[in-house]
Amino acid sequence: MRKVQVPVNQEKLQVSSEILRAVAHPLRLKILEFIDQNEMINVNKIYNSLNLEQSITSQHLRILRMAGLVQTQRDGKFIHYSLDYDKLQNAVEAVNGFLHE
């Protein structure tokens, strides 16, 4: 059997795995959907509306932020979250392309 060498860009692989990890959790998907429905919203409204603990909501938002799937905008003491639709679309297209091959 012939060995095939596949060049792997470790940096891109790391970023890709963070994105997939971020969207692979049901609660994070729920948070993403809620942000999408509200366009821009602060963490207080997210955890109150979804009946979550503030600390858990913040942890999940941190993962989504680190993956680049949500953007933040500070307004005084509040941080408002919105979706990075381009990044989300790229992730969906990449997964769909992989599954259709």
Helix (H, G, I), strand (E, B) or coil at 96: helix
- What is the pTM for the complete model shown? 0.84
Question: Average per-residue pLDDT in the chain?
Answer: 89
What pLDDT is stored for residue 101 in this prediction? 59
User: In 10 A of CB 28, how many CB atoms?
Assistant: 20
| Torsion angles phi and psi, residue 94, rounded to 5 | -65, -45
Structure-token pair, residue 79: 């941080």
What pLDDT is stored for residue 57 in this prediction? 95
Average pLDDT of span 21-42: 94
Calpha distance 29→98 (Å, rounded): 20
